[in-house]
Structure formats: C-alpha cells, structure tokens
Amino acid sequence: ATASTVRTVTVLGATGSIGDSTMDLLRASPDRYQVEALTANTNVEGLAKLAREFGARFAAVADPDRLGALKDALAGTRTECGAGESAIIEAAARPADWVMAAVSGAAGLKPALAAVDRGASVALANKECLVCAGDFFMQRAAKAGACILPADSEHNALFQALGSGNREELVRVIITASGGPFRTWAAADIEQATLAQALKHPNWSMGQKITIDSASMMNKGLEVIEASYLFALTPDEIDVLVHPQSIIHGMVEFSDRSVVAQLGAPDMRTPIAHCLGWPNRIVGPAAKLDLAKIGQLTFEEPDFGRFPGLRLAYDALRTGRGATTVFNAANEVAVAAFIGGKIRFGAIARLVEATMNDWVRSGNLAPLTSADDAIAVDHNARNRAATLLPQIALKAS
Ligand code: NAD
Ligand code: MG
C-alpha cells in the first residue's frame, strides 16, 4: 500500500474479546494500518504487548494507579502513555480515521462520543453505550458527520441487508439469537443456574459480561434497543428469532415480502472486517461457511416467560425517556452482583424490573438531551439498583 492508503486506527478495549479479533485483522495487513491509540481497563501487560507489536503512538489504561506500570512496560518505545478515564477519552479524541469502540458497559459512552464528535468512522461493538445514551448518540454522530458502523453481528447483518431497499419499503427487521446455554432449560433450573453454567456459550467466545447477558437473553434485549437507535426503528418493527446455529445473523423484510439475510460462520472477525473495510470489502479470516456440512438451520419463537429480560427491553424501549438507560444500568449492577455471588441468576431480571418500576414511579422520566443527562440517569439507576439489591437477593422466585 502507498502512504496515502494507510489508515490510522484506534482500538478502545484492545485487550478484550472484540479487541483481540480486531487486532487479529490489523495484524493480517500491517502495511495498511497505523495504530494511533490502544486502551485497556487494568491489563497493563496485555496492553503494552499490543502497543509494542503495533507501534502504537498512544496507550491508555483506565485504572489511574497503573500509569507507572504502563510506562515501565513501554520503556524504550515511542509510545506515549496515559491513565484514568480522561486518558481513555484522549485516546478516542486523537486523530484516527477509524475507531473500534469495544469497551464493555456504559463506561464506554464518553470515549465513544469523543470519537464521534470529531467525525471519525466508529465501529460500534459497545452496545451498552448506545442503550445508555438513547436517541441522542446517533443525532450527535449525524451532526459531526461521523459514520457509525455496527460491529455487533446482528446489526452488522441488518446494515448489510438494509442496502437492498429504501427505508420507506422496510416492513421489519429480524435479529437472531442463539438462545444461549439455557435455551432448552426449565424456568426453575434457569433460576438456579450457576456462574460456570452461564459462562458456557454454545456458539460464541466472548467477554464475561456479554456471555452472561446471552444466557439471560438480556443481550438480545440490549440488541433490540440497539437496533432501534441505530436504524430509527419502532419496537414493532424489530422481531427476535431464536436460531440455535447462529448462521443467519439478521434479516430485513421489505414491502414486496422479500426477506434479505446475511449469513456467516459465528466469528466476530467477519462483522469487524466489514466495518474495517467499509465501504469496500477486505479479506476475512473466518472459516468458509459450509451449509451442506451444517445441514439444518432451525428457528424458534423466543420465550418471553423464561427470559423476562427480553420483555423488559421492549418495555424500556416503549417507555423511552431514559428508561433504556435505566434498563442497562440495572442490568450491569445485576450482572456484577451475580458474578459476585450476591444474587441468583433468576434475580438478574427481577432486579432490572424492580429498578425500572422504581424509576417510573419516581416520575423521573424525561428525554435525554446530552451525555451528562444519560450519565446522570445511569448513576442514579445504579444507586437505585444497589439499594433494591438486598431485598431482591432475599426474595425467592
Ligand atoms: P471484554 O470484557 O472481553 O473486553 C472489554 C474491554 O474493555 C477490555 O479491553 C477491557 O480492558 C476494557 N474495559 C472494561 N471496562 C472498562 C472501563 N471501565 N474503562 C475502560 N476500559 C474498560 O468484552 P467484549 O466481549 O470484548 O465486549 C466488548 C463490547 O462489545 C461489549 O459492549 C459487548 O457487548 C460488545 N460485543 C461483544 C461481542 C463479542 O463477541 N465479544 C459481540 C458483540 C458485541
Ligand atoms: Mg450480537
């Protein structure tokens, strides 16, 4: 590649599962990409290793106490170091053509906005930040001329399929769900599921938080909300279909009843490669899709009874005015409590529901107009969820 075709790229959350897949794609074409900035939460060693390998100009760790450790690990290199939340935001704000937003949780909102505000191409894996921010995230991207490229496999599929028609001709979108490890389990067994059981995803290898969200189907709920904000869809225009093989990732139905789907082996490097290549296509490393070998693709209705998180997500979307922010914040608190052994698996959805009800009763519903609004609602909801947690923990199902 000539100098003019070298793209500068930044990876927020470089040490995570999505970060790992992204670095793998960059590694395959080292002459095409210059790494501007890489970030991690606490994993200084992993971050420094990547910064050395890719000659990153800047490396930032979110933990403010690890600046010294990061500097030591990058001694003798030209990589500048930073630490703390402001350094993660700085990493996003530095000039890179393309930014992968792959922090886990609403903690990724401010950094993602810093990349959006300078009009970058932003590959968005971090669905919680969109769910937390509500409508205004996409408005802000439009204002800054940023290009949001959906990296979540289902939304990437929709993004690809949407090109087959016009917005006025769209009838609905369908996002698929593997159903997770508890797809066939009875409600009473799901209630008692252990952390080890929740972490055994049948098809995808992912970070801990999203793996638990997949088991509760909160992930699909977050994705329904994500689809609504990304593509300006009403809740009625978004359907969820359980598809245990995870081969079809998303479909769009148009007015003539054509349904356009995107397929691929369950490997996040495919949607990420689509985001990295956009508007062109690059070579992807995933296994070639062999449908004859797979033999059968099957489909089921989602079960809103055994997986109440999905119903709560639709409720939050219909309520609007900050309710999706509350839904996400309460779920983050609930998942942390489940990982910490403080609540049962079944209590995750109960805590989210109790927090949402509490929020609606308090009369706090109001449209979010800024990042600060969203972050204030997020903090408030986390406090409410933490307050409600002990009584939810005690209550039997
Ligand atoms: P992960 O836990 O493996 O990685 C998270 C990354 O974010 C790590 O680099 C970590 O150091 C960093 N991080 C965590 N908390 C942070 C904080 N407070 N401040 C700064 N950095 C922080 O998670 P993942 O599976 O890679 O998922 C990342 C995001 O992508 C999530 O929002 C997830 O929902 C989404 N996503 C993941 C997958 C997948 O296959 N893993 C698929 C679709 C969407
Ligand atoms: Mg997904």
DSSP 1-52: --GGGPEEEEEETTTSHHHHHHHHHHHH-TTTEEEEEEEESS-HHHHHHHHH
In which region does residue 161 sit, left (phi positive, over 0), alpha (psi from -120 to 50) or beta (all else)?
Answer: alpha
- Give the number of residues written for the chain: 397
> For residue 53, how far is its CA from the centre of ligand 1 (angstroms)?
21
> For residue 124, how far is its CA from the centre of ligand 1 (angstroms)?
11
Amino acid (one-letter) located at 341: G
Q: In b/e form, how buried is each residue of 26-39, taking b as 16+ CB within 10 angstroms? A: beeeeeebbbbbbb
Per-residue confidence in pLDDT tens, the chain, 397 aa: 455 589 999 999 999 999 999 999 999 999 999 999 999 999 999 999 999 999 999 999 999 999 999 999 999 999 999 999 999 999 999 999 999 999 999 999 999 999 999 999 999 999 999 999 988 999 999 999 999 999 999 999 999 999 999 999 999 999 999 999 999 999 999 999 999 999 998 888 899 999 999 999 999 999 999 999 999 999 999 999 999 999 999 999 999 999 999 999 999 999 999 999 999 999 999 999 999 999 999 999 999 999 999 999 999 999 999 999 999 999 999 999 999 999 999 999 999 999 999 999 999 899 999 999 999 999 999 999 999 999 999 876 5
> For residue 206, how far is its CA from the centre of ligand 2 (angstroms)?
10
Nearest ligand (C-alpha, residue 209): 1
Nearest atom (ligand 1) to Cα of 206: 41
- The residue whose CA has the least distance to atom 2 of ligand 1 is 207
Q: Which residue shows structure tokens 């933990």?
A: 63
Strands 147-150 and 170-177: unpaired
pLDDT at 1: 47
Ligand 1 pocket mutation, candidates 15, 25, 38, 103, criterion most atoms within 8 A of CB: 103
Instruction: Give domain limits for the chain.
Output: 3-150, 152-266+288-303, 320-397
- What are the residues facing 37 on neighbouring strands? 10, 58
Nearest atom (ligand 1) to Cα of 103: 7
* Cα–Cα dist 325/222, whole Å: 10
Dump pLDDT digits (tens) for 35-89.
Answer: 999 999 999 999 999 999 999 999 999 999 999 999 999 999 999 999 999 999 9
Nearest ligand (C-alpha, residue 47): 1
Nearest atom (ligand 1) to Cα of 107: 18
For the beta carbon of residue 392, count every other beta carbon within 10 angstroms.
21
* Cα–Cα dist 122/113, whole Å: 10
Please name the helix (run of DSSP H) or strand (run of DSSP E) that holds residue 158, with its range, or none.
Answer: helix 153-162
pLDDT at 2: 52
User: Sign of the CA dihedral 41, 45, 51, 53?
Assistant: negative
* Cα–Cα dist 338/334, whole Å: 6
| CATH superfamily to which 3-150 belongs | NAD(P)-binding Rossmann-like Domain (3.40.50.720)
pTM: 0.97
- The residue whose CA has the least distance to atom 16 of ligand 1 is 41
- The residue whose CA has the least distance to atom 36 of ligand 1 is 125
Which two three-digit tokens encode residue 78? 């030209």
- The residue whose CA has the least distance to atom 32 of ligand 1 is 126
pLDDT at 135: 85
Nearest atom (ligand 1) to Cα of 41: 11
* Cα–Cα dist 229/323, whole Å: 13
User: Sign of the CA dihedral 325, 327, 333, 335?
Assistant: negative
Nearest ligand (C-alpha, residue 206): 1
Angle subtended at Cα 225 by Cα 284 and Cα 25, rounded to the nearest 5 degrees: 15
Which two three-digit tokens encode residue 211? 């793996």
Amino acid (one-letter) located at 12: L
Residues lining ligand 1, Cβ inside 6 A? 13-19, 39-41, 43, 62, 88, 102-105, 107, 125-128, 152, 204, 206-210, 268
Q: With beta carbons less than 8 A apart as the criterion, state whether 260 and 366 touch.
A: no
CA nearest neighbour of 215 among 228, 197, 229 = 197
At the second CATH level, the architecture of 320-397 is Orthogonal Bundle (1.10)
> For residue 265, how far is its CA from the centre of ligand 2 (angstroms)?
13
Strands 58-61 and 238-242: unpaired
* Cα–Cα dist 103/16, whole Å: 8
> For residue 113, how far is its CA from the centre of ligand 2 (angstroms)?
21
- The residue whose CA has the least distance to atom 41 of ligand 1 is 206
Q: What residues are neighbours of ligand 2 (ion), with CB under 5 Å? A: 152-154
- The residue whose CA has the least distance to atom 9 of ligand 1 is 13
Nearest ligand (C-alpha, residue 210): 1
Q: With beta carbons less than 8 A apart as the criterion, state whether 116 and 142 touch.
A: no
For the beta carbon of residue 172, count every other beta carbon within 10 angstroms.
15
pLDDT at 395: 73
Write out the E strands in 206-308. Answer: 238-242, 248-254, 259-263
pLDDT at 202: 87
The tally of CA atoms less than 13 A away on the side-chain side of residue 256 is: 5
Ligand 1 pocket mutation, candidates 12, 17, 61, 126, criterion most atoms within 8 A of CB: 17
Ligand 1 pocket mutation, candidates 21, 44, 50, 104, criterion most atoms within 8 A of CB: 104
